[in-house]
C-alpha cells in the first residue's frame, strides 16, 4: 500500500477532538469552537436512538443546547440515498460517495454552525458506521480514511457493543431484519436470517477493530437501557464539567 501524502491525510492521523482529522473542508477553516461532538456508534438496531433520546432530555434539563444529527438525514442527500437504496443498482463506491456527501452536507450546515454556537452535537452514528459498512464490502480502508479526512474528530465516541445473538433477539423482537442491515446486497445467499448473522458478525468485528484506532469508549449494550444510560451520563458529565462549554441557566 502506498503511504498517503501528508496533505491528504485522512481520519487516521493524530486525533485532536474538535479539529479536522485530516485535510478538512478546504473552504471552511475551523477554529477552536465552544461546542462539543458526542457520537453514539453501534450497529443496526443496537439501541442508539433510545440512548440519544434519553441523553438529550437529560442534557437539556441541565441547560445545554443540544442538536441531533443522524446518518443520511441531510436535506441535500436523503432523497437520493433513499432512491439508491430502493433499487440497489449502484456500485459500492458510489454508495460510499453518497454517504460521504451526506456527511459533508451535515457537517457544513448542522454540525459546524452548532459547534460555533456552543451546542452539544449528539450524532446518531458518525463516520465509523460508514467505515465499517464499506470496509466489510471490501473497499480499501486507507482510501476510506483518506476520504473522511474532511470530518471533525468528535470529543467523545461511545460504542454500543453487542454480540450477534443478543442483537438478533433485539432486532427480531423490535422490528425484524431489513435488506441492507442483513447485507443482502453482498449476495451471500437467499436466507435473510443467515445473511443477517454473517453480515452483522463481520460488521461487529470491523467496529471492534476501530476501537483503539479512534478511541471509542466501549459500553456493554447487552444491558438494560437504564444501566447503559447511567454509564453514558457519568462519562458525559465528567467530560462536560471539565470542559469550557457554558450552560444557559
Ligand X SMILES: Nc1ncnc2c1ncn2[C@@H]1O[C@H](COP(=O)(O)OP(=O)(O)OP(=O)(O)O)[C@@H](O)[C@H]1O
- CA distances, 14 to each of 36, 67, 138, 215 (Å): 18, 26, 25, 11
Site for ligand X (CB under 6 A): which residue of 45, 149, 154, 183?
45
Binders of ligand X among residues 206 to 235 (CB under 6 A) are 224-225, 228
36-41 and 156-161 strand pairing: parallel
Buried b (16+ CB within 10 A) or exposed e, 208-227: eebbeebebeebebbeeeee
* Pairwise CA distance, residues 143 & 103, whole Å: 17
50 contributes a contact to ligand X by CB under 6 A: yes
Sequence-distant (6+) residues with CB within 8 A of 30 are 18, 19, 20, 24, 112, 115, 152
Q: Choose from Mg ion, ligand X, none: what does 50 bind? Cβ within 5-8 Å by kind.
A: ligand X
Q: How many residues bind Mg ion (CB under 5 A)?
A: 1
The position carrying cell 450552560 is 247
- Cross-strand bridge partners of residue 36: 120
User: Looking at beta carbons only, is 49 or 201 nearer to Mg ion?
Assistant: 49
User: Looking at beta carbons only, is 112 or 127 nearer to ligand X?
Assistant: 127
Considering only the stretches 22-30, 42-50, 73-81, 186-194, report the one whose residues sit in contact with ligand X under the rule CB under 6 A: 42-50
Q: How many residues bind ligand X (CB under 6 A)?
A: 12
Site string for ligand X, 129-168 (x = CB under 6 A): ----------------------------------------
49 contributes a contact to Mg ion by CB under 5 A: yes
53 contributes a contact to Mg ion by CB under 5 A: no
183 contributes a contact to ligand X by CB under 6 A: no
Q: Choose from ligand X, Mg ion, none: what does 44 bind? Cβ within 5-8 Å by kind.
A: ligand X
* Edge-to-edge order in the sheet of strand 66-70: 66-70, 120-124, 36-41, 156-161, 217-220
**Which stretches of the chain bind Mg ion, using CB under 5 A?**
49
Interface with ligand X (CB under 6 A) = 44-50, 170, 174, 224-225, 228
Amino acid at each position: 500500500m502506498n503511504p498517503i501524502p501528508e496533505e491528504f491525510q485522512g481520519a487516521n492521523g493524530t486525533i485532536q477532538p474538535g479539529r479536522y482529522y485530516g485535510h478538512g473542508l478546504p473552504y471552511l477553516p475551523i477554529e477552536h469552537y465552544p461546542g462539543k461532538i458526542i457520537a453514539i456508534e453501534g450497529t443496526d438496531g443496537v439501541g442508539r436512538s433510545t440512548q440519544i433520546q434519553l441523553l438529550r432530555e437529560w442534557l437539556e434539563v441541565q441547560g445545554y443546547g443540544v442538536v441531533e444529527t443522524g446518518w443520511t438525514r441531510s436535506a441535500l442527500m436523503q432523497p437520493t440515498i433513499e432512491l439508491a437504496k430502493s433499487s440497489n443498482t449502484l456500485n459500492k463506491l458510489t454508495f460510499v460517495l453518497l454517504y460521504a456527501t451526506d456527511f459533508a452536507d451535515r457537517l457544513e450546515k448542522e454540525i459546524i454552525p452548532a459547534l460555533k454556537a456552543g451546542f452539544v452535537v449528539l450524532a446518531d452514528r458518525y463516520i465509523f458506521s460508514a467505515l465499517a459498512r464499506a470496509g466489510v464490502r471490501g473497499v480499501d480502508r486507507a482510501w476510506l480514511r483518506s476520504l473522511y479526512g474532511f470530518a471533525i474528530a468528535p470529543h467523545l465516541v461511545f460504542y454500543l457493543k453487542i454480540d450477534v445473538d443478543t442483537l438478533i433477539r433485539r432486532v427480531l423482537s423490535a422490528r425484524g431484519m431489513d435488506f441492507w442491515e442483513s447485507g443482502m446486497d453482498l449476495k451471500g445467499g437467499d436466507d435473510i436470517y443467515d445473511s443477517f448473522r454473517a453480515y452483522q458478525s463481520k460488521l461487529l468485528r470491523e467496529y471492534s477493530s476501530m476501537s483503539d484506532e479512534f478511541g471509542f469508549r466501549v459500553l456493554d449494550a447487552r444491558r438494560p437501557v437504564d444501566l447503559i444510560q447511567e454509564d453514558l451520563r457519568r462519562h458525559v458529565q465528567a467530560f462536560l464539567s471539565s470542559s469550557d462549554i457554558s450552560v444557559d441557566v
